[in-house]
Structure 1
Amino acid sequence: MTVVKHLEKVPAHRDAEAEQQLKAAIDARRTELWAINQQIHSNPELGYEEYKAHDAICSLLESLGFTVARNAYGLETAFCAEYGVGGRVVAYNAEYDALPGIGHACGHNLIATMSIAAFLGVAATMKARGLKEGRVRLIGTPAEEGGGGKLKIIDAGGFADVDASLMVHPGPLSYDEGWDGDAYSPTLANHKLRVRYEGVAAHAAVAPWEGTNALDAAVLAYTGIGVLRQQMHPSSRVHCVIVEGGTRPNIIPSSTTLDCYIRSPTLKAANDLLSKVENCFAGAAQQAGCKVDFDLINTYADVRPNGPISQLYADAMNAMGSRTRCDPSSPGAPASTDQGNVTYECPGFHGGIGIEAPPGCGNHTPGFTASAGEEGAHELSLIAAKGLAITGWQILTDDAVAAAIRADFEADKKRRQNPGVERLVVHRSGYC
């Protein structure tokens, strides 16, 4: 196994008794956790339509004695539950939206399970040990798959008082050189752009000269972006689809629409690439004689993994025998998530855990959908949940740990000012 560069050791005091209590509290809820996992997996719902998942999770928490804010943050399928008073806040994010046509091909049923389990474990241990100060929070975050649910929760102040935001994402068990998971995994920033061209309809055989072909503009733009790729940094990505291209071959298309994702390792780099891509769209409009309209749907920032949080989670996982990498030079994954925006608001991380999946069945494939519903994947997710719980407990109870996390977050703010292209992203399994 290759030796990786490790982060500076976090000055954490390990409480073996508390860790056993955290693990036991999660194990005590195995029946409920498996049931909620299967309920979500068996009833896939798209972003902002996760009514069954929302109600099932809220009902479970309420049955266990928690007060739950349903339809939280102005979103019908968001929720918030909290235990404790005052002090620091550790938040676990539960995702539960699915993908169109292929269900939980990104394993959000497992993400929800891990975050629910970690929340229950920490809350039970806080109660058992009489922790007088500190809060653990479970936030139900809808519509990660493009809808930007966490962006709306940020705007509603949902992360304003959070000291650490934690979540783990599943992928196929194919981490490099025998690793079972990853604690330090940056992602790409992602601008989601919708572009509409307006031309003039005409009969394509009788009088094509009377028309202005909006499909020509779409094709020219698509081709121009293809040429632009020669000048793009290898870590950046641009992908487009023509979602509306016309109705009949004998009608000059009067309108066309493209959806485009623009990704780079940092938000600043993504902004620079966005301006170049917009030039391709504008130039195509001029060539075809069409009008063009841009609509920036939303922007996912790059995940900025907090070093101390990542190291704490890796230490907890490795101590349980789950070989978890924590390499600050890691290129991360060439994918995007709205958890990136959260890491700009407060210290956070977005770890990864591998589950068994057949070859070629990575995230966003029907094969991964099936794997995410297996009991073996659930068992691996409970290990990650215990790692999340141990990490959250240390943040709540250890002042030195909390100070190190805050210091790393403030230092990263300065690094964001002029980041450039900080890392070359290579292909691994993606998320969104």
Structure 2
Amino acid sequence: MSHRVSPKNVVADAGIQAGCWATLFGLRKRGGSTKPKAAQLTRREGAAEAAELAPYVHFGHGWYDLNYDSVTIDSCPSEKLPEYSEDEGVSPEVLQTIQAELEDLSPWLRELSLDIWHHPEIMYEERYAHDRLTEFMASRGFKVTPHYLGLETAWRAEFTYPASDTHRKAKTRSTVHARVIGVNSEMDALPGIGHGCGHNLIAMSGVAVALAIKAALQKHDVPGTVILLGTPAEEAGGGKITLLERGAYKEMDACIMSHPTAGPANISGLWQGVALQPIDVEFFGHGAHAGLAPWEAQNALDAAFVAYASISALRQQMKPDCRVHGIIVGREWVPNIIPDYAKLRYMIRAPTYQELDALRERVIACFDAAALATACKIEIKVGAAYYEVRNNRILGREYSRLVGKMYGMRTDTSVGANYSTDFGNVTFALPALHPAYSIPTEPNGANHTPQFAKSAATKEAHEATLKVAAGLAALGFKVLQDADFTAEVFDEWKAGCGI
């Protein structure tokens, strides 16, 4: 029988990426061709330089899983945005304040982003980023709490602009309930790749949004609080889930953040993503001399491969929008000793957590069957599940209007790729928004590649990030300023609606 362990965050090894763009895989080159050398040269003549990957790969590039010609972009389905008057939206004066603040801060923010990019740190080891970001926020007038809620690399930065005498005399709804907007900064990198998911940009973006909101509150005399959370271990370990369980989000009326991806210029996306379940499986057998007495062994490597093959067979009965993928990890294997230990690191993805829950049991049955077939003992550790992202529709519409008005940015709401993030759990706990946005990338250089890491350090990526940061800052300001708007946002979340 299997022994199952379900800690809140069992994945402590950086080799597993449970986070947002853990769906992209490189394709291996084939080796050992028996064709003569001349035939190989003929086959390569006239091929494109990027032909190392199959041609169809070019039709699926990162989150924005569509071909990038103008016809495709124009034909993408998108909700019609509501019409707003100037009074209903954020005033031009506030937008000007936000844009001017980000323009002034841009050199400092660029330096901050590149500093984090040059010091990549994997999950729960983001010590350099933690210290750099907390020092920066403290120098800008925020009250900073390092090592927040018992997590060494988590942090919190808060700024409150109190109600003035004018507000108190008027007894506005804002005075009665000064609202709180939350912002997230991710910091962790990928093992062996660095910031191949652009978290240096996300860290900087969170800072930019918080500082721009602060400037707007002060200049336009609007009471409110902005809380910026430094959230570790998005790629694996579910840092936001731990922070959520420990109460980090309980004060917030809404929470916002953004994420870079590959795609056409000046495009943003509001996509649901998928739920994800990380699982570690260990098989314990008995070693033996592979030639002399193999019958004495219980082969843990066989158990791993039986499980791998069983899951491959299961894929025939899986829905097209579900995914199960993983790796096999050994321990000092040599051919003449039958392995007594093997480890599988798997991820299960499904469109919703409810579907994930059902699929997980079928996958675990494959692991149990492999242990039974090989007489190995088994231990299954189920990590923290990532929920699908449920973007708040009201927040999304206002964000779309704002970035469209300021920068002519198109916001797409069609179906995206199978990404996952621990921010999905946040969207189920309170109203939240998680837009993606495009940065210029190399061909076949989408998220979770060394090419994307290189792109995340470019000036063009920085400029694209500041556009989205301006839109989110204006959105956050509206949450703090407009009580009726925020009430509508909450009602939408309470009804369980989302994009």
Partner of 1:363: 447
Partner of 1:140: 230
Partner of 1:149: 239
1:70-89 paired onto structure 2 within 5 Å = 70-84=146-160, 87-89=178-180
Paired residue type of 1:166: I
Deviations 1:272-313 (A, max 9, x none): 110000011111111111111110122111111111111111
**3-state SS of paired residue (2:346):** strand
Equivalent residue for 1:35, pick from 111, 119, 139: 111
Rounded to whole Å, the distance in 1 between the matches of 2:245 and 2:135 is 26
Rounded to whole Å, the distance in 2 between the matches of 1:152 and 1:14 is 34
**3-state SS of paired residue (1:412):** coil
1:22-421 paired onto structure 2 within 5 Å = 22-84=98-160, 87-132=178-223, 134-174=224-264, 180-182=267-269, 184-244=270-330, 247-327=333-413, 330-412=414-496
| Inter-CA distance 32–392: structure 2 relative to 1 (3 Å threshold) | same
**3-state SS of paired residue (1:320):** helix
Rounded to whole Å, the distance in 1 between the matches of 2:355 and 2:266 is 30
Identity %: 38
Gapped regions of structure 1 (runs ≥ 5): 416-422, 424-432
2:298–2:376: 8 Å Cα contact kept in structure 1?
A: yes
Rounded to whole Å, the distance in 2 between the matches of 1:41 and 1:3 is 33
Paired residue type of 1:89: V
Deviations 1:348-391 (A, max 9, x none): 12111101111111001111111100111101111111011011
**Would you say how many aligned residue pairs link Structure 1 and Structure 2?**
408
RMSD (Å), alpha carbons: 1.7
1:180–1:323: 8 Å Cα contact kept in structure 2?
A: yes
Rounded to whole Å, the distance in 1 between the matches of 2:245 and 2:83 is 31
Deviation at 1:261, TM superposition (A): 0.2
Deviations 1:68-121 (A, max 9, x none): 111112111111111115622111100111111110010001111111101000
Partner of 2:17: none
Deviation at 1:179, TM superposition (A): 6.0
Rounded to whole Å, the distance in 2 between the matches of 1:233 and 1:89 is 41
1:13–1:398: 8 Å Cα contact kept in structure 2?
A: no
TM-score (norm. length: structure 1):
0.91
Deviation at 1:5, TM superposition (A): 4.0
| Inter-CA distance 322–76: structure 2 relative to 1 (3 Å threshold) | farther
